[in-house]
Amino acid sequence: MKLLLDEIYPATLAAALDAVNIAASTVVELGLAGKSDPDILAAAIERDCALLTENIEDFAHISAQHLTAAGHHPGILIAPSARFSRRPAGIAPLVSAIRAVADQRLEDRVVYLKRTSDR
């Protein structure tokens, strides 16, 4: 699985994902900080990466528009802030939730991550 992390996520999350064989890049490391949400999704599509974000409202809408226009995307993973903290203690639960869906078919889907018992 390849994953692009929205700009709210730290490089430490990308490193933790890389450690479990999930290739992760951050929007910031790719020089995309401050770009619009449609530009972020376009970058994920160009790199064939699923996108991780907590921005439910915007990316669910952008995904629907993109698919309605006969576009495709590698998948969008939504990590609601009520379930997952971006603080250091929240990295392990987020990695576990991503690992739980890593083998699923994500193309053209918006997947809401759930906390697992593996913390």
CA atoms of 16 and 45, how far apart (whole Å): 22
CA atoms of 26 and 49, how far apart (whole Å): 11
Q: What is the pLDDT of residues 101-110, one digit of tens each?
A: 999 999 999 9
Q: Give residue limits of the domains in the chain.
A: 2-112
Q: What is the pLDDT of residues 54-109, one digit of tens each?
A: 998 899 899 999 888 988 999 999 999 989 988 888 999 999 999 999 999 999 99
DSSP letter for 104, please: S
| Residue that the structure tokens 């949400």 belong to | 37
